[in-house]
Amino acid sequence: MYSKSEIAQAELLGSGANRYCVISPRDNSICLKIDLPFERKKTKNWRQSIQRYLSRNFNYFNENFVEWRAAKKLHKLVTHEIALEYIAPIYSLDESELGWILSTELVRNEDGTVAKSLHHHICENSTLSKQQLYKEIDKFCKFLLEYRIPLFDLNSGNMVIQQSSKGMRLYCVDIKSIARGKEIIPISYWSNRLMKKKILRRADRLKQVIKKQG
Ligand SMILES: Nc1ncnc2c1ncn2[C@@H]1O[C@H](COP(=O)(O)OP(=O)(O)O)[C@@H](O)[C@H]1O
Ligand SMILES: [Mg+2]
């Protein structure tokens, strides 16, 4: 079990609306995802306020728990080896003084540096062209559609780009949406046709974000 002081000294990788990610102080190939303190969680609307309340009070709604459930659901759809092609593996969910901690593979480039998020490549001066990024997004969507994986949260903070002498590769590092969506009635999870349409729509939206940059 990780202690508060161990986590406080760990190197920060990034943070999202609900969690922050650090390099494990015990193994630098592992990324630890930890709940942001309640007051630092971002809420843009009433939906998110309810989600924040539920996540604090019921394990079932906690973000790390949701992603852990998503990993289990993913492995009902594809083998570990197939998932590895595009999704950073999730290893364990453990209790700690800071709440639930999710351990996942830390995606690194061939030179050992940490793979940057797609968001970083879009907003900073990236050496990668827009066409290269579109191609990676298309490959990822093809993978989702081929195995009917209901992963809809295609936002640029949830993906990282790994670079090596062989080229680049997109990895998804946040698969919560496989287990939990934003729809009140989750029809996109029940109908293959709607799932496909929604994934393509989300991919298109992501490409539009890239197109508008620079
Ligand atoms: N496995 C990983 N490898 C490399 N970077 C990661 C990994 N997981 C998360 N990150 C970094 O942490 C950021 C936030 O992670 P994320 O899981 O999306 O948090 P949230 O649930 O709050 O959205 C990502 O944008 C990425 O930069
Ligand atoms: Mg995220």
Using one digit for the tens of pLDDT, what is the confidence trace for 165-210? 999 999 999 999 999 877 677 888 888 899 999 999 999 999 999 9
Lowest mean pLDDT among 42-51, 81-90, 99-108: 42-51
Break the chain into its structural domains and give their ranges. 4-212
CA–centroid distance, residue 95 to ligand 2 (Å): 21
What mean pLDDT do residues 119-129 have?
A: 87
Residue with more model confidence, 203 or 125: 203
**Nearest CA-CA partner of 121 in 70, 80, 159:** 159
Q: Is the CB of 206 under 6 A from ligand 1?
A: no
List, in sequence order, every residue forming a beta bridge with 20; answer none if it has no partner: 15, 34
Rounded distance, CA 173 to CA 16, Å? Answer: 12
Closest residue by Cα to atom 1, ligand 1, is: 106
Rounded distance, CA 82 to CA 87, Å? Answer: 9
Q: What is the pLDDT of residues 29-49, one digit of tens each?
A: 999 999 988 767 676 778 777
**What percent of the chain lies above the pLDDT cut of 90?**
72
- Residue 36 token pair: 């942001």
- Residue 25 token pair: 């102080």
What would the CATH number be for the domain defined by 4-212?
1.10.510
Ligand having the closest approach to the CA of 23: 1
